[in-house]
Amino acid sequence: MAVLLIVLLPFIGVLLAVASGRLGRRAAAVAAAGPTLVAFALLMSLAPSVLAGEVLVLSRPWVPALGLTFGLRVDGLGFLFALLILGIGLLVIQYAYFYMSRGDPLWRFFSYLMLFMGAMLGVVLSENVLLMALFWEVTSLSSFLLIGYLSDRSAARRGARMALTITGLGGFCLFAGLVILGQIVGSYELTDILASGELIVGHDWYLPMLILVLIGAFTKSAQFPFHFWLPNAMTAPTPVSAYLHSATMVKAGVFLLARLHPALSGGDAWFYLVGGVGMATMFFAAYVAFFRHDLKALLAYSTISHLGLITALFGFGTAGAAVVGIFHIMNHAAFKASLFMTAGIIDHQTGTRDIRILGNLRRAMPYTMVLALLGSAAMAGIPFLNGFLSKELFLKETLTAPMMAGTPWLLPTVATVGAIFSMAYSVRLVHGVFFEPGQGKMPKEGHDPSAGMLLPVAILVAICVVVGVAPQWTAAPLLAAAAQSVVVGELPAYSLTLWHGFTMELLMSAIAIGGGIFVYTQRARLYDLAHRIWPGLTGGAVFEKTVELVVGAGARLTATLENGSLQRYLVLLLVMALAAGALPFIQYGFSSGPQELTPTNPVAIAVWALLVVAALATVLTHRNRITAIICLSVVGLLISIVFVYLSAPDLALTQLSVEVVTILLLLLALFVLPKTAPRESSRLRKGRDIAVAALGGLGMGAISWAVMTRPQDSISDFFLEHATYPVGGGTNVVNVILVDFRGFDTFGEVAVLVLAAFGIYTMLRYANHTFVEGVPDTADDRYPVVLVSASRPLLALILLMSIFIFLRGHYLPGGGFIGGLVASVALIMQYLASGIDWANERMRLNFRVVAVIGFLIAMVAGSVAFVMDLPFLTMALLGMDVPLVGESDFVMTLLFDLGIGLAVVGSTMTILSELSHMQEVEPYDEAQRAKESDPWKP
């Protein structure tokens, strides 16, 4: 239970931070720190059992069919990471409170930060790998928000986009890899996966799965060649860099390597891929870091380098190396977070992060200097600091790495050269900022910041020192517990002591320190050299170029397919449908069924003949648009007679109300459009269109004929049987299907309707009015008194009719949809008669809100079933009696229907009244229109 709370508390913190919006900075900080502190305490309460080697697993079913459970797991590794996330999280919150500028809306920052914290805890504490992938995505998203936090800067937006693209792409690959992994093992639970190492490594799908999972890990941990997003993410506020981009999020990749180490590390591919990429990254990034002049860029590359080191350690695939990898994760988190915070302090106090400009700060910022010195020394691997221990163990592992029998010198050499540069940039960080005179003038005269800002750094540095001096009494138990989850079987022998005697690795360390200092003394010459031969090919540039190419190709493809001609889309759509529909005819032929034909009568024949004539007339008169609309009304009217005749009263009522609303819509639209259509189709095209239309119509007719002349068991029998009591609870089968059997469809359709209304509202509100052609006003009397006085009683009558139709819906033809449409017509009638201003004065309703409320009511009515532990939108099966109201299912369906009705009224009114706003005419300008009609103009 505590596990669940630990993961959920940060998400509660998100809500608290948002809620604290108006209460100021301090409230926001408390809202973030409170849940973190509680979660930290809860985690500590688990410490005794975890350190004793227990694995706590909590699992709740979620989507069993997919193998997805809400499973959480606390073992040594998860505990260590949770400790880092929550502990450093607390320090970062404290630091951010002082760091972020006073004018900043801190609640927004903290809500993003807490979102990240929760997601990251989810990643490290997941038992189910699918759940882990889910949290993994959330870390990418929240990291995007945090990197782009200063969204008015284009560099921040670019960095955020780059990070999201790379890590998002990696997350996608990871997800695919995890699905394959789950398929291999037959379970998505970590417990099962970790126990199936041999099965996985021997499987045919091992290599593809491994590559996909590794892409996920490498993108997140900024390994070569995906490293470039991390330096670009340095546009984030420094607390974010300290937290996400050094201590936690970038560690998710190496966490994944550690987590899956027992299951995946058995194969040769693992060693070459993980070890190779890790070593390359470690070496390359250490080299680049030395040449960065921006403090944060230097630290970013240094982080990449150290992550490479950790990756390489896991890549070696031996138990000993894995233990060292975990140890370095702990140490790196401590010293790198402290260094990022120090960089932030320097930036905050002096106004610049450029090492060339900064200088001689040792007198002005003595405390900062001491902390930076110790942090950098830990980073460089100087004895008596934690970095030394893990770095020396790393060097030792390179000497004994497996599968390198042919070239035993290769890994140690690469590692030592990398360590030389690591030493060099560490020296540069301290010497360049605090001792060497700067080359320019700093924007501000720096001085030490307040104690509140220094405190988190001091705590981290203290950890570095204490662990460095006395590792056995501090880090050892935690390391042992964490290592146990990464290693199968007994833990290998390792010694966490300062002095191992005169060994090879000590010599390598000494070379690294001496060499680093030498490289630093030669820096002027090296910068000069690097300036001349630095390659122009950088990861960032390749990325931008690729994105440009992909976007360009996408735009070209879209432009080819979507050229703005509606006629063309229609033809393509119809031809596709024709092809699909023609296939059965070609395969099986066409024949009439055995069913006897029903007799018809002369009236029906006459009506159908009229229908045909009216439909043809609509097509023939289409160029004179107002006549075409009138013909279209006739078609709608005749169709509703047909519905009545064929005993489909529901359809007839719906058709009638839709018909009149459509006419209103067309008339409103016609106002802003040309009144006659230009003659633009060639003879050939007309022929093609006629052929397509005729084939389509005849095809549909043939299909209907073939179906209806055959006896069949249609699904309607089922509905007819079950619609009435006790299952459906109504007697109008159409309505019961709409609100109950197919309630989810109806719910979705209403959602679409409301969304469409909002889309139309937004588009028209900001529409370009230069198209408006208008119609000359020839009326003497704007509001004829006959019309006005006729419309008032009609309002009451139509509304009454609407309520009647609505209420009766469950038992006889009617329901929310028709009722809503009829009510809309009643309201529009008033607009027509007396104008929109008059009507709005008397009807103070925001119809957009009405639409949303309607949708929410429908949702609530559907959700009531959850209380009874039944699926969404179960209506009639509730079957309880509510005093005074009657059966509850009736109440629920009525409520659902009411929601639908309100949504229909709201949407219809929103669309129609927004269209009528278009008519605040501006003069028609042919030249302007020609310019605007380019569909690709942004």
What is the binding site for other proteins (CB under 8 A)? 602-603, 606-607, 610, 613-614, 617, 626-627, 629-631, 633-634, 637, 640-641, 644-645, 649, 652-653, 656-657, 659-660, 663-664, 667-668, 670-671, 774-779, 782, 787, 791, 794, 797-798, 801, 805, 812-813, 822, 825, 828-829, 831-833, 835-837, 912-913, 916, 919
Nearer to other proteins, 204 or 837 (CB): 837
Q: How far is the CB of 4 from other proteins (least distance, A)?
A: 56
Nearer to other proteins, 114 or 805 (CB): 805
Q: Assign 729 to helix, strand or coil.
A: coil
Nearer to other proteins, 189 or 914 (CB): 914
Our CA angle for 55, 324, 170, nearest 5°, is: 75
Cα–Cα distance measured from residue 369 to residue 815, given in angstroms and rounded to the nearest whole number: 76
The DSSP bridge partners found for residue 128 are: 189
Q: How far is the CB of 796 from other proteins (least distance, A)?
A: 12
Q: How far is the CB of 821 from other proteins (least distance, A)?
A: 10
Q: How far is the CB of 829 from other proteins (least distance, A)?
A: 6
Nearer to other proteins, 527 or 671 (CB): 671
| Helices (H), ranges, 186-250 | 190-194, 197-202, 206-220, 229-232, 238-242
- Interhelix angle 785-808/888-917, rounded to 10 degrees, is 150
Cα–Cα distance measured from residue 702 to residue 383, given in angstroms and rounded to the nearest whole number: 89
Nearer to other proteins, 787 or 868 (CB): 787
Q: How far is the CB of 779 from other proteins (least distance, A)?
A: 4
CA 567 from centre of chain: 35
> DSSP label at 195?
T
Q: How far is the CB of 647 from other proteins (least distance, A)?
A: 8
- What's the length of the chain? 938
Nearer to other proteins, 237 or 906 (CB): 906
Nearer to other proteins, 613 or 727 (CB): 613
The CA distances from residue 707 to 415, 710, 712, 716, in Å, are: 77, 6, 9, 14
Nearer to other proteins, 707 or 790 (CB): 790
CA 391 from centre of chain: 38
Our CA angle for 264, 270, 273, nearest 5°, is: 145
Which residues have C-beta within 8 Å of that of residue 1, sequence separation ≥ 6?
A: 58
> DSSP label at 496?
-
Cα–Cα distance measured from residue 609 to residue 502, given in angstroms and rounded to the nearest whole number: 106
Contact 380, 387 (CB under 8 A): yes
Instruction: Compute φ and ψ for 353, nearest 5 degrees.
Output: -120, 10
Class of residue 48 by CB neighbours under 10 A (exposed 0-12, middle 13-18, buried 19+): exposed
Instruction: Compute φ and ψ for 589, nearest 5 degrees.
Output: 75, 180
Q: How far is the CB of 918 from other proteins (least distance, A)?
A: 9
Nearer to other proteins, 362 or 917 (CB): 917
Nearer to other proteins, 2 or 812 (CB): 812
Which residues have C-beta within 8 Å of that of residue 478, sequence separation ≥ 6?
A: 51, 76, 79, 80, 83, 330
Nearer to other proteins, 271 or 831 (CB): 831
Place of tokens 């027992």: 262
Nearer to other proteins, 128 or 618 (CB): 618
Cα–Cα distance measured from residue 893 to residue 739, given in angstroms and rounded to the nearest whole number: 6
Nearer to other proteins, 598 or 778 (CB): 778
Instruction: Show the tokens assigned to 146.
Output: 């945090």
Q: How far is the CB of 793 from other proteins (least distance, A)?
A: 11
Nearer to other proteins, 234 or 660 (CB): 660
The DSSP bridge partners found for residue 503 are: none
Nearer to other proteins, 165 or 621 (CB): 621
Nearer to other proteins, 903 or 912 (CB): 912
Q: How far is the CB of 769 from other proteins (least distance, A)?
A: 13
Q: How far is the CB of 599 from other proteins (least distance, A)?
A: 15
The amino acid that residue 480 corresponds to is A
The amino acid that residue 339 corresponds to is L
Instruction: Show the tokens assigned to 529.
Output: 């050299």
The amino acid that residue 883 corresponds to is P
Contact 302, 379 (CB under 8 A): yes
Our CA angle for 279, 283, 285, nearest 5°, is: 115
Place of tokens 């067309």: 666
Nearer to other proteins, 775 or 882 (CB): 775
Q: How far is the CB of 673 from other proteins (least distance, A)?
A: 11
602 C-beta neighbours (distance < 10 Å), count: 7
> DSSP label at 647?
T
Contact 224, 308 (CB under 8 A): yes
Cα–Cα distance measured from residue 36 to residue 16, given in angstroms and rounded to the nearest whole number: 12
Nearer to other proteins, 524 or 786 (CB): 786
The CA distances from residue 799 to 4, 803, 823, 844, in Å, are: 53, 6, 5, 17
Place of tokens 């380098």: 305
The DSSP bridge partners found for residue 74 are: 56
The DSSP bridge partners found for residue 73 are: 57
Q: Does residue 886 come out as left (phi exceeding 0), alpha (psi in the -120 to 50 range) or beta?
A: left
| Cis peptide, bond prior to residue 10, ω within 30 of zero | no
Q: How far is the CB of 841 from other proteins (least distance, A)?
A: 14
